[in-house]
């Protein structure tokens, strides 16, 4: 059966090349249940690949030929092989997080086989602390990154004793026979996991519409029409052509520490996140001898955190959009940088347009941004990049979740670097911790993993500056 591919998905297929693989990823860390036996991970994996009914999303593959008049279409994979898509790997010794991140970097730097359904999942064991991990990869033509993250979350449960839970690619018991609800554009963020999940399985979606709205908003942001400030970003090493080599780094910190800094300084948790990135980037670029004289500018989708108690970047309401934030990397003092970020955010938010939460979610680096940005970045008239990097902050569940008894203890999205935008930083909160996921081109952004130590150092410096 052949079905047409919507224009946004087709655009992702066409935009893909060796240097710009168009898939998003997710890294999930799990703690084994206390009663786990020696074969727990193997059994966990074996259960995942057992025969079951799969969602159509995970069975369709892209096709383009003379028969389709050169157009991309979806067709069902009649030779679907679950063992190609779901894999079981071990880590080399000594099994530190470093080895895990190296594996994720490699997996994320490899293109999906275009003749098969566009997804993979790898169950990873061998972390010396006994945790296990799952890296999941989905092509952006199949599902946007946010829906992908929500999809992974949607199969989890808050009940540690629940078992026989199906994997994300299976038809979910709850979803069977349920007609999709009418599309709504004014739902609250709390509704998003379910609706995004429906969208992921419903496929039709209004992705094209979102992309258009997104393009208009980003364009406004890029032209500084949304901001009282008028400025452009400096040239940096981040804003050049990239290669296909990827480096992924991830780490998390207690949200309590970020909240502490925010309370003591009258700033938000999101401000503290941005100040951490600012200080880390300043140190990183200084060491490379590549720090520009003027401060870096980040595109920050805001409103993601509305009504999420632990992230108060938008104080209630539905006013959301993208803010161009001056990170203050030209300032030597951590407290000055935090103040600069806070002021820039405050100014920027005053001029925000309105978008639905789903559109804002879609704007992040794991969302539709990779589809919308390239033409904007190529727009004539820019002698300097409109901004230097994207920093997104996507809220996740606040309480611990479990999958067949294994507790999810961390999750980090892997995004899509593109030409002109070699580094993305995507944060997710989960169960009291703020996880940072850094995805970059390994050659354009050398030794990207150093940023983790710099982020850690910067949080301490901010605490010190706040008198904590």
Query: Cα–chain-centroid distance for residue 24?
Result: 7
Q: Supply the minimum distance, in Å, between the C-beta of residue 90 and a second copy.
A: 3
- 62 binds a second copy per the rule CB under 8 A: no
Catalytic residue of the set 140, 401, 419, 454 = 140
Cα–Cα distance measured from residue 235 to residue 117, given in angstroms and rounded to the nearest whole number: 39
CA distances from 252 to 386, 430, 433 (A): 29, 10, 6
Token pair recorded at residue 318: 């539905």
Reported in sequence order, the residue ranges of 97-225 that DSSP labels E, i.e. its strands, are: 119-125, 132-139
Q: Supply the minimum distance, in Å, between the C-beta of residue 410 and a second copy.
A: 20
CB contact set of 112 (below 8 Å; sequence gap of 6+) = 21, 23, 118, 119, 120, 137, 139
Token pair recorded at residue 121: 């999942």
- # binding residues, a second copy (CB under 8 A): 38
Q: Supply the minimum distance, in Å, between the C-beta of residue 243 and a second copy.
A: 5
The binder of a second copy chosen from 52, 84, 188, 216 (CB under 8 A):
84
Cα–Cα distance measured from residue 219 to residue 453, given in angstroms and rounded to the nearest whole number: 34
Q: Nearest Cα to 115, choosing from 136, 85, 143, 135?
A: 85
Strand-strand pairing, 389-395 and 297-302: parallel
Q: Supply the minimum distance, in Å, between the C-beta of residue 113 and a second copy.
A: 6
- Angle subtended at Cα 325 by Cα 321 and Cα 330, rounded to the nearest 5 degrees: 175
Give the DSSP H/E element, type plus range, for residue 88: strand 86-90
- 109 binds a second copy per the rule CB under 8 A: yes
CA distances from 361 to 130, 150, 200 (A): 33, 11, 14
Q: Supply the minimum distance, in Å, between the C-beta of residue 52 and a second copy.
A: 18
Q: Is the dihedral of CA 187, 191, 194, 200 positive or negative?
A: positive
The binder of a second copy chosen from 64, 96, 116, 259 (CB under 8 A):
116
- 88 binds a second copy per the rule CB under 8 A: yes
The binder of a second copy chosen from 7, 14, 17, 212 (CB under 8 A):
17
Contact set for a second copy, span 418-457 (CB under 8 A) = 442-443
CB contact set of 453 (below 8 Å; sequence gap of 6+) = none
The dihedrals phi and psi of 413, each to the nearest 5 degrees, come to: -85, 150
- 19 binds a second copy per the rule CB under 8 A: yes
Candidate segments 6-14, 110-118, 327-335, 388-396, binder of a second copy by CB under 8 A: 110-118
Cα–Cα distance measured from residue 244 to residue 21, given in angstroms and rounded to the nearest whole number: 7
- 110 binds a second copy per the rule CB under 8 A: yes
Residue with smaller CB distance to a second copy, 247 or 433: 247
Query: What is the per-residue burial (b if ≥16 Cβ within 10 Å, else e) of 264-293?
Result: ebebbbbbbbbbbbbbbbbbbbeeeeebee
Candidate segments 17-25, 143-151, 185-193, 350-358, binder of a second copy by CB under 8 A: 17-25
Residue with smaller CB distance to a second copy, 75 or 318: 75
The binder of a second copy chosen from 7, 53, 71, 90 (CB under 8 A):
90
Q: Nearest Cα to 337, choosing from 385, 287, 280, 259?
A: 280
- 89 binds a second copy per the rule CB under 8 A: yes
The β-bridge partners of 410 are 29
Give the contact letters, 126-145, x = binds to a second copy (CB under 8 A), - = no: x-------------------
Decide: 104 and 27 in contact? Cβ < 8 Å.
yes
The binder of a second copy chosen from 4, 7, 92, 446 (CB under 8 A):
92
Q: Supply the minimum distance, in Å, between the C-beta of residue 273 and a second copy.
A: 30
- 240 binds a second copy per the rule CB under 8 A: no
Give the DSSP H/E element, type plus range, for residue 249: strand 246-254
The binder of a second copy chosen from 29, 108, 117, 125 (CB under 8 A):
125
Cα–Cα distance measured from residue 273 to residue 410, given in angstroms and rounded to the nearest whole number: 17
Give the contact letters, 245-284, x = binds to a second copy (CB under 8 A), - = no: x---------------------------------------
Residue with smaller CB distance to a second copy, 93 or 176: 93
Q: Supply the minimum distance, in Å, between the C-beta of residue 75 and a second copy.
A: 13
The binder of a second copy chosen from 36, 47, 59, 95 (CB under 8 A):
95
Cα–Cα distance measured from residue 131 to residue 411, given in angstroms and rounded to the nearest whole number: 13
The binder of a second copy chosen from 35, 65, 93, 177 (CB under 8 A):
93
Decide: 148 and 23 in contact? Cβ < 8 Å.
no
Contact set for a second copy, span 40-59 (CB under 8 A) = 41-42, 45
Catalytic-residue membership of 140: yes
Candidate segments 64-72, 88-96, 353-361, 427-435, binder of a second copy by CB under 8 A: 88-96
Residue ranges binding a second copy (CB under 8 A): 17-19, 38-39, 41-42, 45, 79, 81, 83-84, 87-95, 99, 102-103, 106, 109-111, 113, 115-116, 125-126, 243-245, 442-443
- Please give the positions annotated as active site: 140
């Amino acid at each position: 059966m052949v079905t047409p591919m919507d224009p946004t998905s087709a655009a992702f297929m066409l935009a893909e090349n060796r240097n710009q693989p168009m898939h998003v990823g997710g890294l999930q860390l799990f703690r084994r249940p206390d009663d786990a036996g020696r074969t727990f991970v193997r059994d966990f994996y074996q259960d995942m690949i057992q025969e079951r009914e799969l969602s159509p999303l995970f069975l369709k593959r892209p096709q383009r030929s003379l028969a389709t008049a050169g157009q991309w279409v979806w067709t069902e994979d009649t030779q679907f092989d679950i063992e190609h898509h779901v894999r079981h790997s071990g880590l080399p010794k000594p099994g530190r997080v470093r080895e895990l991140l190296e594996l994720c970097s490699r997996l994320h730097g490899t293109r999906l086989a275009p003749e098969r359904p566009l997804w993979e999942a790898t169950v990873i064991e061998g972390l010396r602390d006994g945790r296990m991990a799952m890296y999941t990869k989905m092509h952006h033509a199949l599902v946007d990154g946010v829906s992908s993250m929500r999809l992974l979350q949607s199969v989890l449960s808050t009940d540690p004793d629940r078992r026989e839970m199906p994997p994300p690619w299976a038809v979910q018991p709850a979803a069977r026979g349920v007609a999709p609800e009418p599309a709504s554009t004014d739902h609250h963020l709390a509704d998003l996991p379910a609706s995004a999940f429906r969208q992921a399985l419903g496929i039709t979606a209004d992705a094209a519409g979102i992309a258009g709205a997104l393009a208009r908003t980003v364009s406004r942001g890029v032209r500084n029409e949304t901001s009282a400030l008028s400025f452009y970003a400096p040239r940096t090493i981040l804003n050049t052509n990239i290669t296909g080599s990827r480096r992924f780094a991830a780490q998390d910190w207690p949200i309590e520490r970020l909240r502490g800094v925010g309370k003591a300084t009258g700033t938000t948790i999101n401000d503290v996140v941005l100040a951490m990135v600012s200080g880390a980037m300043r140190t990183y670029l200084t060491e490379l001898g590549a720090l520009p004289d003027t401060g870096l500018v980040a595109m920050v989708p805001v409103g993601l955190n509305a009504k999420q108690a632990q992230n108060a970047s938008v104080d209630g309401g539905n006013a959301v959009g993208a803010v161009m934030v001056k990170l203050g990397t030209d300032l030597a003092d951590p407290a000055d940088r935090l103040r600069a970020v806070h002021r820039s955010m405050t100014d920027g938010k005053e001029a925000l347009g309105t978008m639905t939460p789903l559109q804002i979610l879609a704007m992040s680096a794991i969302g539709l941004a990779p589809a919308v940005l390239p033409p904007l970045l190529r727009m004539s008239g820019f002698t300097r990049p409109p901004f230097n990097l994207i920093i997104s902050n996507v809220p996740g569940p606040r309480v611990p979740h479990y999958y067949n008894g294994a507790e999810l203890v961390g999750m980090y999205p892997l995004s899509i670097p593109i030409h002109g935008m070699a580094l993305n930083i995507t944060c997710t909160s989960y169960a009291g911790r703020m996880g940072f996921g850094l995805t970059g081109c390994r050659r354009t952004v050398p030794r990207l993993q150093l940023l983790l130590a710099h982020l850690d150092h910067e949080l301490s410096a901010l605490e010190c500056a706040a008198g904590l």
